[in-house]
């Protein structure tokens, strides 16, 4: 199964809210907000997503004026029709400066089973992140 197209992946992903932390230059938390999926998509975007039987790859683009870190991707393998579905969070290990992109590739530790009677639809979405708001003193 090879699927491409970010709009297809987004239409299946279900994330009600994204939590992010606004931190100062000293990494001290000043505030914590809950953002809607639409608000979060204005900050981070997944581009060039591809799905194969063994991996999910793409790039995460930071559209904000601030560096983001601790980006977690929600990878869902949804089985159509019975229910051996799985989900995993995959944390990007790099900060993403404003206007930059970071590539990712996620491979499940255990390959998805090959079964009759259905197939997997894999999605990728932003599951959470911290946005650094570097304020001058």
Per-residue pLDDT tens digits for 35-71: 777 888 889 999 999 998 889 999 999 999 999 999 9
Print the domain residue range for 87: 3-132
Average pLDDT, the chain: 76
In a domain, 53, yes or no: yes
Asked if residue 77 belongs to a domain, the reply is: yes
Residue 137 lies in a domain: no
Q: Is the pTM of this model over 0.75?
A: no
The count of structural domains within the chain is: 1
- At 32 the pLDDT is 62
In the predicted model, is pLDDT for residue 75 greater than 50?
yes
* Neighbour tally for 12: CB within 10 Å: 13
- Chain segment 109-129, per-residue pLDDT in tens: 888 888 888 888 999 999 999
Q: Which residue has the higher pLDDT, 18 or 65?
A: 65
The predicted structure's pLDDT at residue 85 = 87
- Binned at pLDDT 50, 70 and 90, residue 20 comes out as very low
Mean pLDDT computed over 67-88: 88
Residues 28-40 pLDDT 10s: 444 566 777 788 8
Is 102 part of a structural domain of the chain? Answer: yes
The pLDDT, as a whole number, for residue 135 is: 62
């Amino acid at each position: 199964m090879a699927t491409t197209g970010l709009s297809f992946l987004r239409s299946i992903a279900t994330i009600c809210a994204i939590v992010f932390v606004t931190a100062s230059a000293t990494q001290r938390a000043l505030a914590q907000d809950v953002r809607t999926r639409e608000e979060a998509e204005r900050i981070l975007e997944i581009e060039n997503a591809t799905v194969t039987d063994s991996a999910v790859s793409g790039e995460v683009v930071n559209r904000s004026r601030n560096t983001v870190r601790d980006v977690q991707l929600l990878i869902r393998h949804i089985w159509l029709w019975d229910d051996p579905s799985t989900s995993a969070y995959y944390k990007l290990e790099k900060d993403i400066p404003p206007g930059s992109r970071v590539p990712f590739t996620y491979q499940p530790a255990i390959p998805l089973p090959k079964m009759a009677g259905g197939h997997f639809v894999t999605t990728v979405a932003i599951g959470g992140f911290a946005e650094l708001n570097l304020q001058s003193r």
